[in-house]
Amino acid sequence: MNTNINYQPSTPLNFNLDFTKQRLRRNDTGLVAFDENLVTFKTTYQFTRFYAGYNDDINRRGFNPFTGQLEPGLHRNGRTFFIKMSYLFRRSFGGNG
């Protein structure tokens, strides 16, 4: 199952929330092999056509396979900061000079 909500209050600002439910049940025993809830929240703000951005990738820790207990807190997978730049080169052909 997958559900997605997208909200754009203004042209440069966008919010996106995505929820995915995955469950696998074994046919031979009828037991659940895994049951996972994935939640993704993304916010985008585009300042100008040449923009800067930031991404923070965080997951909830989930269940510990050894204890079977839900571990509290979040786990950071990585951070990314980026800048998009463009430059136009022009060359004059056959001009005076």
Residue ranges of the domains in the chain?
A: 1-46, 47-87
* DSSP annotation of 12: S
Per-residue model confidence as pLDDT tens digits over 29-84 = 988 888 888 888 888 877 776 777 777 777 777 777 778 787 787 778 788 888 88
pTM of this structure:
0.54
What distance in Å separates the CA atoms of residue 73 and residue 62, rounded to the nearest whole number?
A: 9
Residue 92: its pLDDT value, please? 72
Nearest to 33 by CA among 43, 42, 23, 18: 23
What distance in Å separates the CA atoms of residue 63 and residue 69, rounded to the nearest whole number?
A: 5
Nearest to 80 by CA among 60, 52, 61: 52
Residue-by-residue DSSP string for 23-76: EEE-TTT--EEEEEEEEEEEEEE--SSS-EEEEEEEEEEEE-TTT-PEEEEEEE
pLDDT band of 94, cuts 50, 70, 90: low
